[in-house]
Chains A and B, each alone.
Chain A
């Protein structure tokens, strides 16, 4: 069968765009300093690629008791999809995200 016969009438992808590993496009890697992070979630709201997820406890647990009482979730960068645009670092009100050049 030729390519013409094989293709549908319009391009339809059976996988969502999360299947694309866009993290390889990154030049600068955002790194969250969890000691500074107040868990305000502004970075999570602003991320244009939904590449920041919210995780519970463990290594992301807040060191500050006041924050710990208010919220138990922390923002975590999904490096498989983060393109390194730096919007999160720009928006962070306490400068808890540093952009570090990929090695």
Chain B
């Protein structure tokens, strides 16, 4: 094991290298570019035995990965924001074709207004594509998640996305353990495809299916996503035994006795945990539930936390016009048919890379305590909005 100070993009590139993909097809876009730059260098200097395909768009990048993966090899790509949006059609194809492609998305806001900074709108908008989605909170996790994602994806035959925040992780250096190749190989054996195209054996993939036969294929995707929920737990535990870092669908922080719990995804969760410590020093029982896997959605973990908490706040770094944020609505959806009966408040913040400081998070926690005692006055609230009210 080698400890190195590297960026989130450096960590993702190393994670991809250690998983030994045979084909990498990618198109550059800020803030993702340095991932594929590093991989291109590794391929050119012989460090990684893979074919690097330079394509003319992200749509083509995913198309190339799909075709290559259909021949029975591991593939990788990376993108961001508008690039991911351009991939949309092929993201659907990858999951429908049941190809365990793994990619990294560096979370970047969608334009206009044009922005290169962090928010989760790009990946939240790909929620329904049938991809497993992991939101990471550190550079170490960015590296680990790619290796873990291949194992999960290849078990359930669904593609998986490792998602890191623009700049906050992608271009910021942290100390990262880079595992040895032999250790990774023992955890992640060579890819054994369940089906593949062979030279001399013509086959058709993704054929037309009549209405009498279509639904069952979609049902199988849904089943695989449900299965992924348990596979992530098992593989995350196994990862911990091999590498010393255990991962689940969520990360709970002081939720056991928390009166208010903030549900949050991405690197901002680590700031929220710091704020929880500050609140606890003042005797205020706050907790954080970090969502690591958004697809499949960790509804059981959320129900468990809701059983003892008094109020749940949900932090969304994106919004779905007309009804708050996606994580907010899904948390509420998870609780509706459960035993829990507690108020949920949705906070929209940090869009287009607006800084989410401990001060901002503290105000959110304080508002959660106020809402716990005095009732939720506003179900969905935009935090830090410069509307002249001075509320935040």
> Is there contact, CB below 8 Å, between B224 and A9?
yes
Q: Which of A9, A13, A15, A17 contacts B220 (CB 8 A)?
A: A9
Q: Which of B96, B195, B219 contacts A12 (CB 8 A)?
A: B195
A8 to B203, CA, bound (A): 14
Closest Cβ–Cβ distance, residue A11 to chain B (whole Å): 5
B194 interfacial by beta-carbon distance below 8 Å: yes
Q: Which of B98, B202, B224 contacts A15 (CB 8 A)?
A: B202
A7 to B219, CA, bound (A): 12
With A3-B213, A7-B213 given, is the CB distance from A13 to B204 under 8 Å? Answer: yes
> Is there contact, CB below 8 Å, between B98 and A10?
yes
Chain B residue contacts of A9, Cβ below 8 A: 98, 157, 194, 217, 220, 224
A59 interfacial by beta-carbon distance below 8 Å: no
Contacts between chains A and B (CB distance < 8 A), count: 44
Binary B-proximity of A1-37 (CB < 8 A = 1, otherwise 0): 0011001111111111100000000000000000000
B387 interfacial by beta-carbon distance below 8 Å: no
Chain B residue contacts of A17, Cβ below 8 A: 204
B97 interfacial by beta-carbon distance below 8 Å: yes
B206 interfacial by beta-carbon distance below 8 Å: yes
A4 to B217, CA, bound (A): 8
A67 to B202, CA, bound (A): 36
Closest Cβ–Cβ distance, residue B69 to chain A (whole Å): 12
Binary A-proximity of B211-225 (CB < 8 A = 1, otherwise 0): 001001101100010
A10 to B220, CA, bound (A): 9
A3 to B213, CA, bound (A): 8
Chain A residue contacts of B213, Cβ below 8 A: 3, 7
Minimal Cβ-Cβ distance residue in A for B206: A11
User: Which of B247-267 touch A at CB < 8 Å?
Assistant: none
> Is there contact, CB below 8 Å, between A7 and B216?
yes
A17 to B207, CA, bound (A): 9
Binary A-proximity of B149-184 (CB < 8 A = 1, otherwise 0): 000000001000000000000000000000000000
> Is there contact, CB below 8 Å, between B204 and A4?
no
Chain A residue contacts of B114, Cβ below 8 A: none
B1 interfacial by beta-carbon distance below 8 Å: no
Chain B residue contacts of A15, Cβ below 8 A: 202, 204
B2 interfacial by beta-carbon distance below 8 Å: no
> Is there contact, CB below 8 Å, between A12 and B204?
yes
Chain A residue contacts of B205, Cβ below 8 A: 10-13
> Is there contact, CB below 8 Å, between A13 and B207?
yes
Chain B residue contacts of A10, Cβ below 8 A: 96-98, 195, 205-206, 217
Chain B residue contacts of A7, Cβ below 8 A: 213, 216-217, 220
Chain A residue contacts of B204, Cβ below 8 A: 12-13, 15-17
Closest Cβ–Cβ distance, residue B100 to chain A (whole Å): 11
Minimal Cβ-Cβ distance residue in A for B158: A9
Chain B residue contacts of A16, Cβ below 8 A: 202-204
A10 to B159, CA, bound (A): 14
> Is there contact, CB below 8 Å, between A14 and B224?
no
Q: Which of B157, B194, B202, B207 contacts A11 (CB 8 A)?
A: B207
Chain A residue contacts of B202, Cβ below 8 A: 15-16
> Is there contact, CB below 8 Å, between B203 and A13?
yes
A8 to B224, CA, bound (A): 13
Closest Cβ–Cβ distance, residue B98 to chain A (whole Å): 4
Closest Cβ–Cβ distance, residue B188 to chain A (whole Å): 21
Chain A residue contacts of B203, Cβ below 8 A: 12-14, 16
Taking Cβ atoms with an 8 Å cutoff, the residues of B that contact A are 96-98, 157, 194-195, 202-207, 209, 213, 216-217, 219-220, 224
For the A-B complex with A11-B206, A13-B205 known, give 19 more contacts whose Cβ atoms are closer than 8 Å.
Answer: A3-B213, A3-B216, A4-B219, A4-B220, A7-B216, A7-B217, A7-B220, A9-B98, A9-B194, A9-B220, A10-B97, A11-B205, A12-B195, A12-B205, A14-B203, A16-B202, A16-B203, A16-B204, A17-B204
Give 10 nearest A-B pairs by CB, closest first. A13-B204, A16-B202, A10-B98, A11-B207, A13-B207, A9-B98, A4-B216, A10-B97, A9-B220, A11-B209
